[in-house]
Amino acid sequence: MINNLFKLLENKFVPLASKFGSQRHLLAIRDAFISIMPLAIIGSLAILVNNFPISSYQAYMLSLFGSKWASFSNYIYSGTFAIMSLLIVFSISYNLAQSYDNDPLLAALISFSSFIITIIQADAQSFRIPFRWLDSSGLLVAILVGILATEIYVKMMNLIKARKRKVKGAMTPILNRYFLALIPTTTIFFIFALIRLFFAFLGIENIIAEIYSLIQLPLMGLANNLFTALFIVLVGHFFWFLGLHGTNILEPVIQTLYLPALQENIQAASNNLPIPNIFTKPFFDSFVYLGGSGTTLSLVIAIYLFSNSKRKRDLMKLSSTQAIFNINEPILYGLPIVMSPVYLIPFILTPLILTLSSYFAILIGLVPKTIALVPWGTPPIISGFLVTGSFAGSFLQIFNILIGVLIYFPFLSLAERIKEGG
């Protein structure tokens, strides 16, 4: 029966999930967020430097640099995390146009300008850009504009190329290419100016604020609860179990929902306000995916402590260093965990249990909420401290790793008794 179920999943579900995971627009969104990660990480860590919760540190920095010392980190934040929507609209358009084998830079520039046209506000004296809303609050608008503007650009440029229209004269090829792009560019700007005018007729001056309150904020509220977090963890690990890259498939959803939640936390921390959100992207990266998906760092430790299989122990020697940096493909495919009935339960159960343990540890105040973004490959203990600004985050990681070892142990013993893979 189990074999029949696996065969059904392999024949029906895997091709569908693979198609979903390779969908062009989702890939563009995923790659866009990956592209801006270095900037987002630096911006969030700058705020952590400002708000490190040790009074002696704060007093020392104040005495060393004076009352304006915090401005240094605020400048960095304002040029990174605070303009996330501008970065995303450019990056999405670039990646999407590149996937169509069109000029990615020109498409990104057109999308960037289209976004400004869409969100610009008018008052009695002048036009102005609503800088306050260029952070994660404008992500949904940025994503929509980036995709729509690029799709129009690509289709119009392909139509022009298909008709093999060439500008007569002695212009260089690059000037010829950009001159031909005048028609698509003019059309795109015209469309987004009409969209902006339509909202103005409706009495809506701040489009981002309107869409944020109507759509993005409710979605974030829906995402920031325990049941949604458990569902996302479950689905991602089910994809991994089938041999699909669950993290990449769900990355556009996770980034769009949980990066804004982190930004709310960062802003609250910088203003000395209560931190609002438990579930953020670093919550999952630092407290659930320890050693990678499935919390396989716990499995590595369990094998070192309890396994008698030479093959397994040799594999762990080769892959344990990668596991410390949250790279676990050698374990997933080499043990293997993928499509293995014995490891199905612990591989999915462990991250679900750790989501619960981390949630309640933060909920009752044992561990601070996350206020910083760190590279996903940051080793445990270090990452726990950095994302919370507290050693309590590191202790939670150690606790979660031990829970994972206890969960994996009986299934590891079962695998060795039936001599599965070892």
Q: Tens of pLDDT along the chain (422 residues)?
A: 545 545 555 555 556 656 666 778 888 988 898 888 888 888 878 777 776 666 666 677 777 777 777 777 788 888 888 898 999 999 999 999 999 999 899 999 999 999 999 998 876 566 778 888 888 888 889 999 999 999 999 999 888 777 655 545 544 555 566 677 888 999 999 999 999 999 988 888 888 888 888 877 787 777 788 999 999 999 888 888 877 777 777 888 888 888 888 988 988 887 888 999 999 999 999 999 998 888 989 999 998 888 877 788 777 777 777 788 888 877 887 788 887 788 888 999 999 999 999 999 999 999 999 998 888 788 999 999 999 989 999 999 999 999 999 999 998 888 777 764 44
What pLDDT does 170 receive? 46
Question: What pLDDT was estimated at residue 420?
Answer: 46
Which pLDDT belongs to residue 188?
A: 96
Nearest to 324 by CA among 349, 295, 351: 295
Name 122's bridge partners. 127
β-bridge mates for residue 127, sequence order: 122
Q: How many angstroms separate the CA atoms of 275 and 25, rounded?
A: 33
Instruction: Give residue 421's pLDDT.
Output: 43
Pair (116, 64) in one structural domain? yes
The answer as to whether 28 is a domain residue is yes
Which of 145, 147, 2, 131 minimizes the C-alpha distance to 77? 131
Q: Of 195, 218, 241, which marks where a domain is finished? A: 218
> What local confidence, expressed as pLDDT, does residue 9 receive?
52
128 has which bridge partners? 121
Are residues 375 and 249 part of one domain? yes
Q: Bridge partners of 121?
A: 128
Interior/surface letters 360-390, b for 16+ CB within 10 angstroms, e for the rest: ebbeeeebbbbbbbbebebebbebbbbbbbb
Considering the domain architecture, whether residues 212 and 229 belong to the same structural domain is answered as no
Q: Where are the beta strands (DSSP E) in 135-231?
A: none
Which residue segment(s) compose the domain that 307 sits in?
A: 225-421
pLDDT at residue 287, as a whole number = 95
User: Which pTM was predicted?
Assistant: 0.78
Residue 339 has what DSSP assignment? T
Secondary structure class of 79 (helix, strand, coil): coil
- From 203, 218, 233, give the residue that closes a domain: 218
The Cα 376–Cα 397 span in angstroms is 14
Angle at which helices 24-50 and 84-99 pack, to 10 degrees? 150
Do 303 and 172 share a structural domain? no
Task: Return the DSSP state at 317.
Answer: H
Let me know whether 54 and 85 are in one domain. yes
pLDDT for res 177: 65
Show which of 170, 195, 218 is a domain's final residue: 218
Contact 300, 323 (CB under 8 A): yes
Could you give the maximum distance between any two Cα atoms of the chain, in Å?
A: 79
Nearest CA among 233, 332, 337, 243 for reference residue 288:
233
H-type helices in 80-168, by residue range? 84-99, 104-119, 139-162
- Alpha carbons within 13 angstroms on the beta-carbon side of residue 318 total 11
CA 283 – CA 58 distance, rounded (Å): 26
User: Would you call 164 exposed, middle or buried from its count of C-beta atoms within 10 A (0-12, 13-18, 19+)?
Assistant: exposed
Three-state secondary structure call for residue 128: strand
Element (H, E) at 122: strand 121-122
> Is the domain of 52 the same as that of 148?
yes
- Residue 172 and residue 309 in one domain: no
Instruction: Name the domain count of the chain.
Output: 2
With respect to residue 156, please indicate whether it lies within any of the assigned structural domains.
Answer: yes
Q: Does a structural domain hold residue 9?
A: no
> 228: part of which helix (H) or strand (E)?
helix 226-241
- 8 Å CB contact between 286 and 295: no
Angle between the N-to-C axes of helices 226-241 and 341-363, in degrees from 0 to 180, rounded to the nearest 10: 160
* Residue 286: Cβ within 10 Å count: 32
- Which of 90, 289, 102 is closest to 184 using CA atoms? 102
Q: Are 293 and 328 in contact (CB under 8 A)?
A: yes
* 8 occurs within a structural domain: no
As a whole number of Å, the end-to-end CA separation of the chain is 24
Looking at the structure, do residues 93 and 39 belong to the same domain, yes or no? yes
Both tokens of 52, joined, read: 């490190």
Are residue 100 and residue 28 in the same domain, yes or no? yes
Residues 169, 234 within the same domain? no
pLDDT at 305: 87
